[in-house]
Amino acid sequence: MSLFSRTKGFALACALALPLVFASTPAHAAPALTNDDVKVQVNDKLVVFPDAQPFIDPEQHKLQVPARIIADQLGLKTSWTQNGSDIQIALSNEKTTVSFTLGNPTISINGQASSQTYNTALIDGRAYVPFRLISDAFGMIAQWDGTNRIGIYGTDGKYYAPAWYAPKYEKVIEAKATAYTASPSENGWGARDYMGNPLQLGTIAVDPSVIPLGSKVYIEGYSFDGLPQDGMFATATDVGSAVKGNKIDIFVPVSKSKAYNFGIQQVKIYVLK
């Protein structure tokens, strides 16, 4: 199923949960949030936030999410206790329990202090935690799409494209696709693309006479464990001596031997406006 037919029929996940509200606000409460129009997705479904919204912390420049709503969407249990002005929260599943006090950067995982610190806060009566705290603690894939301003949790070990984004496109190209890695034997300029950016998921090499460098594209039709299921957004920032005509080379963050299994696949490429 194509991106555009699939997106047209997309229905938002509507599991609304009761917000985490407290009777008092501790002295370490953060300033009121601003509306940054950011979104959060769990696998291929958007999270609906009925009141408290995710936002980008203007000081730390990190995505913050309402703890209770996100926990419910991820199937995590939430419990809290209040000791004076301190709010202590625990998020847990069958294997992991994450405990922390709002405003205190130290967290514990299964009773052991974590070496990582995270800025948690109580804002307008809602507990907020960093997007990365949950993915790091519970072993989920976390993606941040800065172009579309959306954070994506992959709970099943897979990568996902933004489910809400249905762009218009200039043309569709039927092409052959191969895969490459950051192996020195495959990269004349190290683990970077032709434009000097670090190789990462979403980097593709193209023939600039067919797909201009800098183009945003959506690719579907491939099958490979290690790339987003069904399709992926990518940017044409690399070239290759063997990439000529209707052919692309997709960077894959795996070993060279595993990338070899990609072979040559027929794909469809939407060149986006």
| Residue in this structure with the two tokens 């070239």, named with its chain if needed | 239
Using the predicted structure, report yes or no on whether residue 10 has a pLDDT greater than 70: no
The predicted-structure confidence for 85-132, as pLDDT tens digits, reads as follows 899 999 999 999 999 999 999 999 999 999 889 999 999 889 999 999
Amino acid 24: pLDDT: 37
* Strand positions, DSSP E, the chain: 39-42, 45-46, 55-56, 63-66, 77-83, 86-92, 97-101, 106-109, 112-117, 121-123, 126-130, 141-145, 150-154, 169-180, 203-205, 216-220, 231-238, 247-251, 265-272
Q: What is the pLDDT of residue 112?
A: 92
| Maximum CA extent, the chain | 67
Q: What is the pTM of this model?
A: 0.52
Residue 14 has what pLDDT? 28
pLDDT per position as a tens digit, 133-191: 999 999 999 998 877 789 999 998 888 878 765 556 788 899 999 999 998 888 766 78
The stretch 38-42 carries a mean pLDDT of 92
Domains defined along the chain, listed by start: 10-154 (3.30.457.10), 169-272 (2.40.40.10)
Asked if residues 162 and 231 have their Cβ atoms less than 8 Å apart, the reply is: no
Q: Between 132 and 18, whose confidence is greater?
A: 132
Q: Give pLDDT, residue 36.
A: 54
| CA–CA separation, 232 and 221 (whole Å) | 10
Tokens 């109580």 sit at which residue?
A: 122
Give the pLDDT confidence score for residue 81 in this predicted structure. Answer: 93
The set of long-range contacts for 167-172, using a CB threshold of 8 Å and a minimum separation of 24, is: 167/216, 167/218, 167/270, 167/272, 167/273, 168/272, 168/273, 169/218, 169/270, 169/271, 169/272, 169/273, 170/271, 170/272, 170/273, 171/270, 171/271, 172/268, 172/269, 172/270, 172/271
Which of 43-47, 59-63, 162-166, 222-226 has the least mean pLDDT?
Answer: 162-166
What pLDDT sits at residue 18?
31
The DSSP symbol for 228 reads -
Beta carbons within 8 Å of 64's beta carbon, 6+ residues apart:
33, 54, 55, 56, 57, 119, 121, 128, 129, 130, 131
pLDDT digits (tens, 9 = 90+) for 242-272: 999 999 999 999 999 999 999 999 999 989 8
Mean pLDDT on 192-201: 92
CB 157 within 8 A of CB 151: no
* Residue 211, CA distances (Å) to 47, 147, 167, 241 in order: 34, 20, 17, 15
Q: How far apart are CA 25 and CA 85, in angstroms?
A: 7
Q: What is the mean pLDDT of residues 6-21?
A: 31
CA dist list (Å): 177 to 59, 139, 225, 258: 41, 31, 15, 15
